[in-house]
Each structure stands twice: as structure tokens, then as C-alpha cells.
Structure 1
Amino acid sequence: MVQNENTTELWRPTGPEELDLVRRSNWTAWPPRLPEQPIFYPVLNEDYAIRIARDWNVPHHGVGYVTRFHVDTAHLQRYPVQQAGGRTILELWVPAEDLPEFNHHIVGPIEVVHEFR
């Protein structure tokens, strides 16, 4: 996780449907979660995001993307880091109902940095 004085860099592996909704937001927001998705989980390192996009999204959707974005660091303090596996399998768990406010604290655009097919 790269952090400067004001923002923290986060990563999100995503499939084509979610990416299309991000594109429709003009690259400024993540879409609301579906009923079966109670949390939004950005990840804290690029390698972990790549593994999910390549190894899960590609087999399930034919394509996987890795996005990068920055969020106000102060806002992230309410979401403790979750270790979802090994030492580098780190995520933030943002409850679905918090996502509109989380989106408000995104600084700059959401960027696609990798594509896997």
C-alpha cells in the first residue's frame, strides 16, 4: 500500500460488468453492491489484485482487469486491514452501505492498469 500525506493507493481486481459501471461513472465511483455482495473489498497491493484478475476473473468472465485508485487516508482509518490468506493477501472490507461515502473520498480517477484475457 503506497501512502502519501493525504491519500492511500488501493487496487481492485474487476470483471467487465463492474468496469463498465465504473466507466459510466466517468471513472469516479464504484457501483453499488449486489444483494449477494455485502462488502466492497479493495486490496492493498498490486500483486494480489493481479492474481485475482488473472486467476479468477479471466476463467469466470473471459477478461480480468486491475484498477488503481487513491482514497483519502483519514477516511480509510475506519476500515481495519483484513488478512484474507497469506502475509500479502490484504484487503479492506467496506460494508456495502458505506460505499457511497467511500466513493466520495476517492481522489482522482479510477485507472485500469492491467488487462488479462
Structure 2
Amino acid sequence: MIAKGIFMDKLASKKLCADQECLYAISLARAEDDYNAPDCRFINVRKGQLIYVYSKLVQERGSAEFWAGSVYAEQYEDQMGTVGYFPRNLVTEQHIYQEANETVSTKAIDFFCE
């Protein structure tokens, strides 16, 4: 079986994480509005939904600020566990689990769409 997909443009060259693999949640945030994902790099978010934040892209000149996370809410079970990007200004952090002190280079796989 051959995997088919497309590499998308990078949103940033670096991201801030709690660990080098960006496996551990940095914080829990609540969506202040709905967001419809423009492509597979992003996640759909509904107002009031909780999101586990795993990384924060380092904003580059002229670009929007995006975070990566996974939604958590029973009424949106189809997206639980799916990690994708969303605009930082969409959410309010509710609880910080740990500081995002690790600067990690983004990889091509971070921006791959199937």
C-alpha cells in the first residue's frame, strides 16, 4: 500500500513544547468562538470546547499565531485525539500544566495532509 498525500506550506519553523517530542500537554484552553479548519493541518473547534495544547508555533514575521492541540468534549467524540492547529486568539488558557520551555524545529510531517 502506498501512502498518498501532500506536504503543505509550513506555518512556522519552530515550536515551543514541554518536551522535545511535544508529547505532553502544556495547558488546557477553552474556545471562545467556532473555528472551521481550512485544511487537514487544522482542527475544527466549537465555542466552549476544551482543547489540550501540545505546542505553540513560534510566530514569524507577518504570520498568524497558531497553537497545536486536541479537542476534548463528549459531544465531539469524532475529533477526540486528533491533533491539529488553531489560531491562538481563538482560545483562553484555563490551566497551565507545565511551561513550554523546549524550542523544537518543525518537521515536514507537521504539515502533511493525506
Higher-helix-fraction structure: 1
Q: Same fold (TM over 0.5)?
A: no
Higher-strand-fraction structure: 2
When normalised by structure 1's length, the TM-score is 0.25
